[in-house]
Structure 1
Amino acid sequence: MQDNTCQCDRGWMWSKTHYRCVWDCNCPNDVQCIGPGVCGCAHTCKYGTCWNGQCECWEGYKGITCDTFDKNMMMNRNISVGMNLGGLSYWSPELKFVDVAKQSQEWITEHHTTHQWDTHEHDTITWRDDGYPASLPNDMLVGKLVLRANAGIHGPQGNFTLLYDGDGEIAFSLVRPVIHYNGKGRMVVEFHENSGGIFIKIMRTNSANPIHNIRLILPGFEDRHELFPFYPPFLNSIKRYSELRFMDMLHTNGHTPEPTTWKTRRMPEFHTQTGSAGCAIEYLIHLTNIVGSDPWFNQPHAADDDFIKQFANMSKTTLRPDVKVYIEYSNEVWNGIFRQTKYNQEQGMSLGLDTANWKAGFKYYNKRSTEIANIWKSVYGSDSEKLIPVWAWQTGYHDYTRQAMVDLGTRASNFKGLAVTGYFGCDHVTSQSKHDITQLSMADIRDLCKKDLPKSIDDFHFYMNMSKANNLKLLMYEGGPGLESSRNNNATDHAIAFNRHDLAGDATLDVLEAWYDVVVSDQYNKHPGGLFNYFSSASSYSKYGSWGLMEYTGQDPHTSPKYIALHRYINRHFNNHNMGQHCSFVSQNNILYGCYKHRNQQFYCGQSTDHGTSWKNYPTISANTSALILDGFDVMSGVIFVRNVDEIAANTFYKLNTTKMQTQWESQSVSDYYRQVSPTTVNRKMTNGVYRGVDISNFIC
């Protein structure tokens, strides 16, 4: 301004004392700001996060301070189905974070005067501990990709916010950005659909105050990204699974460095969470706490004892108290395509465990996995009943696993579970030596899947018997369709087409039902036995396999036959059809907005001016409703935002302008919905189980 003061953004005000813009909040009872226009809470949120004066509870918790656990609220209660989450990469179509820079690649080097892609000159740069350059030569820049391929095609579009600390210059390429605002430490940049991705470039950096802490925030999430780091559609997609296996997020296969120490682990403030060091453990624990699924932590193959101890201690002290913890040493140590297999053989041979590489490998696996299980137990002490140490080996060759189990011997008592796979390849339909998949109809492939089913059933019986003989419970660490074809493009396209076909859902359901009949129904095999761990949550389909239950975050679940099959299996066997809160309310001035399940068993949304005694109902949203959730009310526009959740946990999104008395709900895309519902102008629904005097006598809450 002309008087040298600043006109501050919304949520900020000019401070004559500090001579700068500071957070501006109108908070009651001396409650302090916790962000621009965001009030803190009068009480500490025990199992939740404070946002604008009220707690937002983790799944299963309720009350003003989120201190009361109610398992009946959980979407995953009693459900013996887990999920392998996809890994983190700049091309992954599974968007886990609202700050997509966390899923960016490692830096590449380039020169200002030439256009060569990646000059591989990392050694000429001094790097900070957080992975940012401490300085740059005058003619050099560094850059990294994010939102490439399906991540860019199916990801949110619009105005992203780029935030950074330090001094320097940031630019973009591979896209045509429209820069709407460019101030110190903050840019607002418009991006649109692009399979090539966004290339973020540090053009120059001030060595006295280098650029660091770059965050690229999805549209709408600037206000909440620090306290709520995970993308809501991703959270919605995993809430129904009782366990989450973090094998790929931890980059278990080929994890580095060797040895892995606590000092060398990936930290939350590192410039990316991708790469062979895996994701920061803090994020995995935070995700577990929000969703309330049991975590499955794969321990790095070259981790030293202190790393294992520190990992266990962090879990014990920061995980929510109601979850169990699965512990597995590495992943598929028998599988020769992974570095951990060679490492175990090297260690086994150096210790003289056997003269044959392959035997030395499984003997070292038995030794190290037992040591890791006991380290976790020593840390957990009297809480060790929460731990589920898992012993896992090869599934297809029974005698190989039998020999490994014989070597384990009495050490089997250190474990609770024996884990196998449940993949099916439909009589190796993508193997050129047996079939030409391009000449087969979808029904032909389905018939080959049926032909394979007896082999799966035989495996389940064999390992069920092995589990009983060793006083272990049988569970699955990975399972699902395993049709991958790199032979040629036509074969790949045909395999992908089958994975998208309704018959792939039928084949998936066959294996699920066989697992249930042989394993889950066995009275011996109570929890943790019977867990079917699907692989995986979301991935792009390619010649390397169509592993994803979904192809990208935000996909309509009704377009994935494999997803439908899995959730029909859940509905059929696990007696939990709870898809969310039955009552959700927002109070604004003298008007109450709410969605609720009436005692007549119907769901409605409406408004009340007498604290809920009488309601004016809005139009019905859907006949297929298992939960109807009011997420928020925009005080600026008078719009309410509502999610309809159906019987397979699929969300559809709507808004309605209450000031215009609309007679029709407006359908919203998943990205548009959350872009609009996340800013500070939106009052969030009341905390779980808190109704603030609302009359709920006619509702089932």
Structure 2
Amino acid sequence: MSLPRPGGGAIRRNLRSSGTSTPPGLSERFVAFLQYADALPNHASKERPLSASYGTRFERDLAMDPLRLGSLIIGVIASIATPSLTQQLDTLEVYPSSITLGLAETSAVPIVAIVRYDDGFTFDVTDEVLVSVANESVVEPVNIVHESGGDTLSYWYLRGRSPGVTSISVSTQGLDTDISATVVSDAPEPPPPLSRTAMEIGTNLIDVSDISPDLVFTDVFMVSRPWVSSTLDGWDDHPGPVTVDSLGWVESLLPDQVADTILLLELDGGYPMGSYTLTWEGTGSLILERGWTGLPYSTIPYPDLGDVHVAEVTIGPSDDGGVRLRIVATDPGDPIRSIRLWMPEAVSGVNPTNADTPPEDPFLESFVAQVSRYCTLRFGNWFRAMDGTDNQSETWGDATTIHHATQARSWGIAPEWPLRLLNRINASGRGCEARTDGWFVIPYRADDGYVRRFAELVATTVDFAANPETRVYVEWANEVWNPSFVHLGYAAELGIELGLDWGTGDPWIAATGYQVYRSRQIFEIFEDVFARTHPVPGGVDRLRRVLAGASAWPYINHVLLDHPGAADEIDLFAVAPYVGVEIGGAVNELPPSSLPTVDELLAALDDPSDPDNLESSDVEQRIRDMAQVKALVDSWSAASGNDIEMGAYEFGQHLAGWGYWIEPHVYPLFEAANHDPRMGDIYRRLLLGWRDVGGSTANHFLHRDKWSQWGLFGALEWYDEDETTLPVRRKYLALLEALEVTGPILSPRAVVHPR
């Protein structure tokens, strides 16, 4: 359908239960509750959605009126942590000062209670919460855990393992408003046991650059740094710009000017060593240097050489200064161009007579072999759609082409390359379930013309006929909610301009509103291309339309899905369940004398040997977050009649500072934790939780990246590492297990590590 330019009134949601204003998909069993709330004195304007919660597996969300009730909002959640313990929630009764949950069966059921006080859009919990358990036989203590969300939101988790529990009451002191209502839920059936195909693990790929340890191409020059204006004895010290053509090749040099570029920088020897083949066209002079030392090369005689020059150069270990390629002279009438530096692996296949045309398949075999193990490849970094800056493609003319001098441009690599990579993987039959799907993040500034041209390229390049199951994931921007990225302000400004803020002026509501609005426009373009202008086998069924929220920020997820049309036109609601965000940020601020040990740090993340710690561990909290998101997604799926799955655009460990930077005295601790076998077990527990709550496609962050003071996100670091090399990469092993197992990865309490 076409998306009209909305006005503010068309976006605001009136949630009054009387008349015809009940929200679409709202069950009749909630009407009595909303009618009662609507009649309450002094209750707030009905133009702002909040949520009451019920159901199993943490949260079943319902958009309802904001009740002022002395600025009190109460949501009660019955939850379970394992599908085998799923319970039917019969009743939710609201009394003058208490809430009672009735369970259809008596069994081991964790209960979660959330109490929230609403003051505008700022949540502040101040009153004491009293918890009582009505039962005949409490066999285990019941713990109440307070989890603070700063000055915006607080949770109280009431967790019990008591077979005799038949009801739980949560009361607040000082509440004198009478409320009375009964709600009957239709809790979903337990999901079937998850098969291997349900454990779809993908990965994010790091951006392509001269410092990336993820060596993608056999031609090293394809990821060279854009030209730098230098003098013969310096670097970046010439005042004049380098004159280049439309593809980035040097056209001419100024007096005393040298055009410099860098390759294989800061890789600590993490690249193939041996004999490389250098090819180029044009008239002039090239110099190769390792640091400041010249690398000799000899010209190779080729028959029918034409205008192509070919030379051999040996590249060995370095002092981390990379390889510098310098154009010290060039003929403006026949400038040096079409430079290639082929790795040893590719030398036998080099055809020097077509140096100006990149090969159809330029990918390094070791790279292809590893990434083909994953079910999805998320290419956000390849398109530079995840760097949080405003230097992203806006029009199709901005996009890099396969003929550009380097693919390491500010606008990312040529869109053809990820599509050709997917074809190579899927033609080999090596992908996950014999296929690997592409997950594409559209740059936030990309206009409709860019989106349409890219959709057409996908439709005409990906070999959909070869595999009837191949899918394409489409997502607009990366983490629109993240204040670190400029596109939050971009989306908020446009959201307010379009009236997507429900008349509040709130930038978060406006930004999420624009995220939904722009995502729907992009989905519509892809649907039109796939079904009409460039039809593909399977049509729009090949698309997976993604809307991304925040796993540990319920407010953002609620508001996102409350925007009109959000739940109607998506296939996947994606979040990022990271372990260690808060712990890493807090530890990074400690002085050296106060740092925890590796054992203490890992125990805070997850310690299966300590049942008390396990209940409040970071992994356990992330599993609760995931279950909460899944229940929210299920509720909107049921209300909209659209089958929505929960996915993870990113996941993994996140031991880093708040701004990613890790203090030098903290880095050894975080590095040791990532090398420790227990980090692999933490991944296994997290992935087991993901399976148990019903998560689908999940992309690790990242496949390969050099560990540094900017983070330790890579499952691997260097191009030649795999599961057989040392040091053992615990995170990578856990990912491979998740891709290959058919049953539970690891019992939550099965591993006890000796101390």
Please state which band the TM-score falls in when normalised by the shorter chain: 0.5 to 0.7
Task: Provide structure 2 residue ranges, at least 5 long, that are not aligned to the other structure.
Answer: 1-195, 302-307, 351-358, 427-435, 607-616, 638-643, 746-755
Cα 1:119–1:504 change in 2 (3 A) is farther
Q: 2:263·2:323 contact (CA, 8 Å) conserved in 1?
A: yes
Superposed CA offset, 1:328-371 (max 9, x none): 00111111212222221232234343323332222111110110
Distance in 1, matches of 2:743 and 2:326, equals 50
- Does the Cα contact within 8 Å between 2:662 and 2:711 map onto a contact in 1? no
Structure 1 pair 387–110 and aligned structure 2 pair: CA distance change class (3 A): same
Among candidates 549, 569, 574, match of residue 393 of structure 1: 549
How far, CA to CA, are the matches of 1:118 and 1:297 in structure 2? 39
Alignment partner of 1:274 out of 408, 423, 444: 408
2-structure distance, mates of 1:335, 1:427: 15
> Does the CA contact (< 8 Å) of 1:166 and 1:211 recur in 2?
yes
Identity of aligned residues (%): 25
Kept in 1, the 8 Å contact 2:204–2:379? The answer is yes
Q: How does 1:358-369 map to 2 (within 5 A)?
A: 358-369=508-519
Give the superposition deviation at 1:574.
7.2
Aligned length, in residue pairs: 487
Task: Tell me if 1:534 matches 2:667.
Answer: no
Letter in 1 for 2:739: I
Matched residue SS, 2:348: coil
Go from structure 1 to structure 2 and tell me whether the alpha carbon gap of 1:507 and 1:379 turns closer, same or farther (over 3 Å shift): same
The answer as to whether partners of 1:104 and 1:144 remain within 8 angstroms in 2 is yes
Amino acid at match of 2:437: D
Instruction: Give 1:81's match in structure 2, choosing from 190, 201, 205.
Output: 201
Aligned to 1:566: 735
Aligned partners of 1:433 and 1:490: how far apart in 2?
9
2:235 & 2:297 partners in 1: Cα distance?
Answer: 25
Match of 1:461 among 598, 618, 627: 627
Asked if 1:265 corresponds to 2:384, the answer is no
Q: Following the alignment from structure 1 to structure 2, what is the Cα–Cα distance between the partners of residues 401 and 251?
A: 25
One-letter code of the match for 1:326? Answer: Y
In structure 2, the partner of 1:603 is none
Report if aligned partners of 1:108, 1:120 keep a CA contact under 8 Å in 2. Answer: no
Aligned-partner Cα distance in 1 for 2:588–2:719:
36
Residues 125-162 of structure 1, C-alpha deviations (whole Å, 9 max, x = no match)? 43211101211113211111110112x51111111111
What corresponds to 1:318 in structure 2? Answer: 461
Deviation digits for residues 399-440 of structure 1 (CA, Å, limit 9, x no counterpart): 122112212x33421111100112100761452488668743
Say whether the 8 Å CA contact 1:103–1:274 is kept in structure 2: yes
Cα deviation for residue 298 of structure 1 reads 0.7
Post-superposition shift, 1:258? 6.1
Q: Does the 8 Å CA contact 2:273/2:317 hold for their aligned counterparts?
A: yes
Distance 1:426 1:410, change over 3 A: closer
Matched, 1:477 2:649: yes
Q: Which amino acid aligns with 2:512?
A: F
The change in CA–CA distance for 1:547 and 1:218 in structure 2 (over 3 A counts) is same
Superposition map of 1:174-193 within 5 A = 174=291, 175-181=293-299, 185-193=309-317
Please tell me whether the aligned partners of residues 441 and 477 of structure 2 are also in contact (alpha carbons under 8 angstroms): yes
Q: Taking structure 1 as reference, are residues 134 and 353 closer, same or farther at Cα in structure 2, changes over 3 Å only?
A: same
Which residue is 1:247 aligned to?
380
With over 3 angstroms needed to count, the CA separation of the structure-2 counterparts of 1:120 and 1:509, relative to structure 1, is: farther
Q: Distance in 2 between matches of 1:470 and 1:506?
A: 33
For 2:394 and 2:743, the matched residues in 1 are separated by 40
Matched, 1:516 2:691: yes
Structure 1 434/452 Cα, relative in aligned 2: closer, same or farther at 3 Å? farther
Name the structure 2 match of 1:657.
none
Q: Counterpart amino acid of 1:476? A: A
Residues 476-520 of structure 1 deviation map (CA, whole Å, 9 limit, x = unaligned): 100001111435312012101211121111111110111111124
In structure 2, relative to structure 1, the CA distance for the partners of 1:326 and 1:156 (3 Å cut) is same
Q: What TM-score do the two structures reach when normalised by structure 2? A: 0.62
Instruction: From the superposition, tell whether residues 536 and 415 of structure 1 become closer, same or farther in structure 2 (CA, over 3 Å).
Output: same
Q: 1:212 to 1:492 in 2, by over 3 A?
A: same
Let me know the Cα RMSD of the aligned residues.
2.3
Contact kept? 2:588, 2:656, Cα under 8 Å? no
Q: TM-score, length-normalised on structure 1?
A: 0.66
Distance 1:412 1:118 in 2: 55
Give the match for residue 149 of structure 1.
266
Following the alignment from structure 1 to structure 2, what is the Cα–Cα distance between the partners of residues 248 and 258? 11
Equivalent residues of 2:651, 2:698 under 8 A apart: yes
Q: Supply the AA of the counterpart residue of 1:107.
A: W
Alpha carbons of 1:452 and 1:216: their partners in 2 closer, same or farther (altered >3 Å)?
Answer: same
In 1, distance between residues paired with 2:225 and 2:743? Answer: 40
Structure 1 pair 395–424 and aligned structure 2 pair: CA distance change class (3 A): same
Given residue 217 of structure 1, which amino acid in structure 2 is its aligned partner? W
> Helix, strand or coil for the counterpart of 1:170?
strand
Other-structure match for 1:121: 240
Q: Which residue of 2 aligns with 1:58?
A: none
Rounded to whole Å, the distance in 2 between the matches of 1:256 and 1:440 is: 39
Question: Is the counterpart of residue 493 in structure 1 residue 668 in structure 2?
Answer: yes
Is the alpha carbon distance of 1:449 and 1:199 closer, same or farther for their aligned partners in structure 2, counting shifts above 3 Å?
Answer: same
1:92 to 212, 219, 223: 212
User: After superposition, what is the alpha-carbon deviation per residue over 1:235-265, rounded to whole angstroms, capped at 9, x for unaligned?
Assistant: 1111111110001111102466566111221
Structure 1 stretch displaced more, 498-507 or 340-349: 340-349
Q: 1:214 aligns with which of 339, 364, 367?
A: 339
Paired position in structure 2 for 1:669: none
What is the letter of the counterpart of residue 508 of structure 1? Y
Contact 2:238/2:257 (<8 A) preserved: no
Corresponding residue SS for 1:209: coil
User: Does the CA contact (< 8 Å) of 1:99 and 1:215 recur in 2?
Assistant: yes
**Contact kept in structure 2, 1:296 and 1:327, CA below 8 Å:** yes
Residues 185-204 of structure 1: pairs in structure 2 closer than 5 A = 185-194=309-318, 195-204=320-329
Matched letter for residue 483 of structure 1 = L
Equivalent position of 1:205 in the other structure: 330
Aligned 1:546-565 pairs, distance under 5 A: 546-558=712-724, 559-565=728-734
Query: Distance between the aligned counterparts of 1:98 and 1:433, measured in 2?
Result: 39
SS of equivalent residue, structure 1 residue 404? helix
For the residue of structure 1 that corresponds to 2:652, the secondary structure is strand
Counterpart pick for 1:134 among 251, 257, 278? 251
- Deviations for 1:191-245, whole angstroms, at most 9, x for unmatched residues? 1111110011111111111111111111141333624311111111111111100
**Could you say what secondary structure the match of 2:632 adopts?**
helix
Q: Aligned partners of 2:550, 2:479: CA distance in 1, in Å?
A: 7
C-alpha displacement at 1:119, in angstroms?
Answer: 3.7
Change (3 A) 1:542 1:267: same
CA separation of 1:180/1:433 partners in 2, compared to 1, >3 Å: closer, same or farther? closer
Q: Partners of 1:515 and 1:82 in 2: how far apart?
A: 14
| Within-5 A mapping of 1:543-692 | 543-558=709-724, 559-573=728-742
Where does residue 366 of structure 2 map in the other structure? Answer: 233
Greater Rg over alpha carbons, structure = 2
Unaligned 5+ runs, structure 1: 1-75, 521-529, 577-701
User: Comparing 314-323 with 429-438, which one deviates more in the overlay?
Assistant: 429-438
Query: Quick one: structure 1 residues 233 and 488, their matched pair in 2 at CA, closer, same or farther if it must change by over 3 Å?
Result: same
1:115/1:436 Cα in 2 relative to 1: closer, same or farther (>3 Å)?
closer
Aligned to 1:34: none
Q: What is the DSSP-based 3-state SS (H/G/I as helix, E as strand, rest coil) of the residue aligned with 2:629? A: helix
Counterpart-to-counterpart distance in 1, 2:723 and 2:264: 22
Which residue type is aligned with residue 223 of structure 2? Q
Once the two structures are superposed, the pairs formed by residues 286-301 of structure 1 within 5 Å of their partners are: 286-292=420-426, 293-301=436-444
- Aligned residue for 2:406, secondary structure, equals coil
Please give the alpha-carbon distance, in whole angstroms, between the structure 2 residues aligned to 1:78 and 1:518: 12
Give the match for residue 36 of structure 1: none
Counterparts of 1:427 and 1:133, CA distance in 2: 48
Distance 1:276 1:339 in 2: 16
CA contact (8 A) 1:423 1:481 kept: yes
